[in-house]
Amino acid sequence: MKRVLILSLCLLFVAGAAFASQKHSGERTASEIMFPIEYYQGQHRTMFEGFESGVPPTGWTLFQTNTVETWGVDTYNPYEGLQYASCQYDATYSGPQDEWLYTDYTIEAGDECLSFYAFASTYWAVDPYQNYNILVTINDQIVWDYLNDNNGAVTWQWQQYSVDLTGYDVGETITIGLGYQGYDGAQGAFDAVEIGECPPPPPEPCCPSENVCYVMDFNDNPCSATPEPCGIGPVPWEWGAPVGIPTVACDDVPVTNVWGTVLAADYPVSVGEALVMGPCPISADCYCMELCHYYDTEFGYDGGNVKVSTDGGATWTLVQPFGGYDDVLDSTSYVAECVAMEEVFCGDSISFVRDCFDLTEFVGQEIMIGFFFGSESWDTTDLGWYLKWVKIGGDEYSPVQNSTWGAIKGMYR
């Protein structure tokens, strides 16, 4: 079911949940956002459009077929600046949408890529519904579309994409189109569209790595992890043999025991609890955390995330996995315990998946690691969140230790 969020003076129709939060800084220039300042200075860029002047911006043309919804401006959580180009779905179902923004551009020397940021719903645009798509065309030929080229995108989280322009001649004028096509879809958006040198590739995840320092494999034992309350309701975290989840984890390892939010049933409503490990020393050799986990929660309302504490658990800082979380639990009517208004893993991961966390900012410190889970008060629940192992590694060789957190702590005394 799609929720309706009222933001400012407009109605924002979305599928399942609102956008995952994304940090952006108003004091950064567009060039510093598109290319980090150490990369962009002295580099070539001939066109940039952030839709700050409106939609369609100067030099662009709007082609509208649906009388209810088409491309316009949105100000909620832009990638850069204060706003971006957004197309909502037609919730009145008056007819299909085939909405376009067009601009002409003449290729200059050094124009390597058309780059842009985009988001859509992987639930409605990709699987299982495929009710809509957002596209980029050059001279009416599709050169990118979200359905086929989303590169593992997360629902409603900005991600950068690039289209190769080296096949076009200097002096050649091309027509660029940004499109939305579908019926009963969800929101699609573009921001920070530019032409110039190709942006640097995104950073590679820091795991898996052969240089693993420690392995906390919950198949063997609970590894001194401790459930700690952070909300109300019955405590969900349990260690033991799970029921009803995939039986093979990452790297085709069989699942015997896990830490999970209720092992033999769905998690209950209105619960909140953290599974806490530590303290753990983070060093230049041991800074990359690998989590093998499976989750199946109500998308947009229940879920879990990973936090780190450097003061023994008094305060916690959310840490980001490579690729980001699935959504932000921003409902004010149905508030999730422990993780309200925070980014979380949610929805159905289908199988056990590997997520990587770069903890280099904590090098030289001892940290606690918390897996925070929460559900809201509505009567919809699912299987929950299940952790198979946690590994800590790095670039340099260290001997692998299967250990409890207490043993790891003792090695540094």
pTM comes to 0.65
pLDDT score, position 399:
46
Query: Average pLDDT in the 276-283 region?
Result: 92
Task: Give the β-pairing of 272-281 and 226-229.
Answer: antiparallel
Helix H or strand E encompassing 175? strand 173-182
What does R_g of the chain's alpha carbons equal in angstroms?
Answer: 23
Q: How far is CA 402 from CA 205, 214, 219, 407, in A?
A: 23, 6, 11, 9
Neighbours of 305 (CB within 10 A): 27
For residue 128, give its domain range. Answer: 2-196
Question: Are residues 274 and 151 part of one domain?
Answer: no
Residues 168 and 36 in one domain: yes
- Arithmetic mean of pLDDT, 205-227: 89
H/E run at residue 406: helix 405-411
Torsion angles phi and psi, residue 379, rounded to 5 = -85, 30
Is 363 a residue whose pLDDT tops 90? yes
pLDDT at 408: 45
- Whether residue 203 lies inside any domain: the answer is no
Residue 153 pLDDT: 80
pLDDT, tens digit, for every residue of 63-91?
999 999 999 999 988 999 999 999 999 99
Residues 228 and 182 in one domain: no
- pLDDT attached to residue 41: 39
Q: Look at residue 205 and tell me if it is in a domain.
A: no
Same domain, 120 and 228: no
118 close to 190: Cβ distance less than 8 angstroms: yes
> Confidence class of residue 94 from pLDDT cuts 50, 70 and 90?
very high
Q: What is the mean pLDDT of residues 24-38?
A: 31
Q: Note whether residue 330 is domain-resident.
A: yes
Is the pLDDT at 261 greater than 50? The verdict is yes
Count: domains in the chain: 2
Q: Establish if 156 belongs to a structural domain.
A: yes
Among residues 165, 196, 227, the one where a domain terminates is 196
Q: Are residues 158 and 217 in the same domain?
A: no
254 shares a domain with 191 = no
Confidence of residue 396 (pLDDT cuts 50, 70, 90): low
Number of Cβ within a 10 Å radius of residue 331: 18
Average predicted confidence (pLDDT) for the chain:
84
Q: Is residue 202 part of a domain?
A: no
- 253 with 367, same domain: the answer is yes
**Any domain includes 201:** no
Look up the CATH number of the domain holding residue 380.
2.60.120.200
Q: Are residues 247 and 271 in the same domain?
A: yes
Q: What is the pLDDT of residues 322-332, one digit of tens each?
A: 888 888 888 88
| Residue that terminates a domain, selected from 196, 227, 254 | 196
Do 60 and 18 have their domain in common? Answer: yes
- What is the pLDDT, as a whole number, of residue 43? 56
The pLDDT of 384-406, averaged and rounded, is 72
- Number of Cα atoms under 13 Å in the Cβ half of residue 24: 23
Predicted local distance difference test score (pLDDT) of residue 4: 28
178 and 271 part of one domain: no
Residue 49 lies inside a defined structural domain of this protein: yes
Among the residues of 10-72, which ranges form H helices? 30-34, 37-40
Structure tokens at 22: 């994304």
Same domain, 313 and 242: yes
Question: Once rounded to an integer, what is the mean pLDDT over residues 242-269?
Answer: 95
Domain-ending residue, one of 196, 230, 247: 196
Judgement on whether residues 141 and 225 belong to the same structural domain of the protein? no
Q: Which two tokens stand for residue 354?
A: 């590997």
Determine the pLDDT at residue 233.
78
Q: In this structure, is residue 204 part of a structural domain? A: no
Residue 3 above 60 pLDDT? no
Residue 1 has pLDDT above 50, yes or no: no
